[in-house]
Amino acid sequence: MTEIRTFDQYIDGAFSPAAQAFDSIDPSTEEVWARMPQASADDVDRAVRAAHRAMYEGPWSRMTATERGRLLYRLGDLVTAHAAEIAELETRDTGKIIRETRAQIGYVGSYYRYFGGLADKLQGAVLPIDKPDLDVTLRHEPIGVVAAIVPWNSQLFLSAVKLGPALAAGCAVVLKASEEGPAPLLAFARLVEEAGFPPGVVNVITGFGEECGRTLTTHPLVSRIAFTGGPHTARHIVRNSAENLAFTTLELGGKSPVVVFADADLDSAANAVVAGIFAASGQSCTAGSRLLVERSVAERFLGILSEKAKGIRIGDPQAMETEMGPVATARQVAHIAATIRASREAGAELVTGGGRPEGLAHGFYVEPTILLSQSADLPCFREEFFGPVLSATTFDTEDEAVAKANDTAFGLASGVFTRSLSRGHRMVARIHAGIVWVNTYRAVSPMAPFGGYGLSGLGREAGADSIRDYTRTKSVWINTSDAPIPDPFIMR
């Protein structure tokens, strides 16, 4: 009998159970492995009020930017030191393979150190105002309480690009972990406590829709919402933000194109395509889920991809030799299967995969799948699978490649593979996406802004400018003249 672990929420510097709890399922076994705290509306209100007190009454409000930076740097070191144990929890709760969770969480520490270094680099300005005897300066002050909402995939990374700049700017945060796999972030809260952040500065909760999510995003003391997820939920959040007029940024995933020209290094491009769609079982907002390959090399390239896809080692996500694990939920399996079926009925050709891997009777597993079609109007080209499914088509000219790459409502990421430097630069300028990778894919850095166009969302995360999104600008006018202000009712 597997021991059921219990996790608590973290509010106002203390761990406590919620009034209710819910089961968390191990995607590789389909068995309950943990009980998670289900935040009520009262829990959410308590967390927001704790954050508000921390911002305006507690020691956080009196800390210098340099002191905040030191705490962030300490947090980054702790994340790096505890990466292995947090990775084990993420793998257990979401099915993401252990070799990827360890590497990704190990790198997340650099984000907190980066923003820790930025904390005391945020400078104001002196304005050359057009009026005599007035000194006018600008101050950047923390925007207020931040509601940070993240999905279950890559959650330590997606939290860091919100928490890092928010804490560096002096804000306090209520972090809502996804109910689909909250264990890593509930464990992360212990590192926040160990780093020495005052009570209420970071609160970590999880829960469902109306009671948790809506209460958080409509709360009158929330000034900023940073959300990563899907467009459907984002629309609810935008409507909710009308209640408190909170500044809102949205990172909403995509249907990212990878364009492979005939002159590309095809073996290198194939490795990148495989990494872009089959790593993390395709459950990445930047997954390269649409392949556009020049017709003259399409058959050869699809053959290379098909062999690589068939050779992927699928199995226990906790085993270091596993290269692809399950998807996170049974609901995803059903959605992926239905979209593959609808696409094939509409004319898509199944190149490889399409079903359940052999020898895996339990778990939410999907074979690495490649579909081929000349029509971009099929569901596989329009809908985000959020699974290990690549939709391929061909093109003959650069203009056709651009048109097909941009034929989507999304615009988060894209990839271009070519040996032509001039073509690479042209494609960078013409593709409508927030990220363009040329002869590489899935590279990230705390220094590089992350975000998209269209239905891929609003705003950017990471990079030096992101700290400003967690501040308000205050104009300060100082009269430097000793002369009295003239009587306003005497006209001269």
> What's the rounded Cα separation, in Å, for the pair 352 and 389?
10
Residue 393 in contact with residue 302, Cβ under 8 Å?
no
Residue 203 in contact with residue 174, Cβ under 8 Å?
yes
Residue 8 CB contacts under 8 Å (≥ 6 apart), including other chains: 15, 16, 17, 18, 37, 186
Q: Tokens at residue 244, please?
A: 């408190």
Choose among 78, 24, 15, 20: nearest CA to 47: 15
Q: Tokens at residue 485, please?
A: 């202000």
Q: Which long-range contacts (CB under 8 A, 24 or more apart) does 188-195 make?
A: 188/79, 188/86, 188/156, 188/159, 189/10, 189/15, 190/10, 190/15, 191/75, 191/78, 191/79, 191/82, 192/10, 192/75, 193/10, 193/13, 194/78, 195/71, 195/74, 195/75, 195/78
> What's the rounded Cα separation, in Å, for the pair 471 and 48?
18
**Which residue's structure tokens are 């080692």?**
313
Q: Which of 251, 367, 384, 461 is catalytic?
A: 251
In the annotation, is 251 catalytic?
Answer: yes
Residue 452 CB contacts under 8 Å (≥ 6 apart), including other chains: 251, 252, 254, 410, 411, 412, 413, 433, 434, 435
Q: Tokens at residue 385, please?
A: 């699978």
SS3 category, 16: strand
φ and ψ at 257, to 5 degrees? -90, 145
Q: What residues act catalytically?
A: 251
